[in-house]
Amino acid sequence: MRIILYAEFRALPAQAEHVHALIHSLAEDVRTEPGNIEFSVFVEKDDPRSYFVFEIYRDQGAFDAHLASPWTAAFNDRIAGLIEQPETQLTMLADV
């Protein structure tokens, strides 16, 4: 079964450019993962510090591999002090 999720976070004002660079780099790496189907990053039109990430993985194994990848671990470690919330807000989705 596919793993589908939606993540959102808002960069701190002084960290907006740094967050942009980090998510751009992460997206490039994640899109090379064999089990990644989609990794799309968006910002709110009127608030470019607000990020929305839509992700789809082939199955639980692919998602687990994504979580264990060095780029995902590095991103999660770095992003924590750069966003308004203590962590990225995740919503797990299901096919209808």
Could you give phi then psi for residue 88, rounded to 5 degrees?
-65, 140
Q: How many domains does the chain have?
A: 1
In a domain, 2, yes or no: yes
Euclidean distance between CA atoms 42 and 62, whole angstroms: 23
In a domain, 59, yes or no: no
Q: Which tens digit of pLDDT belongs to each residue from 18-61?
A: 999 999 999 999 999 999 999 999 999 999 999 999 999 999 99
In a domain, 6, yes or no: yes
Question: Residue 86 above 80 pLDDT?
Answer: no
Write out the residue range of the structural domain in which residue 23 sits.
1-49
In a domain, 24, yes or no: yes
Using a pLDDT cut of 70, give the percent of the chain over it.
100
Amino acid 22: pLDDT: 98
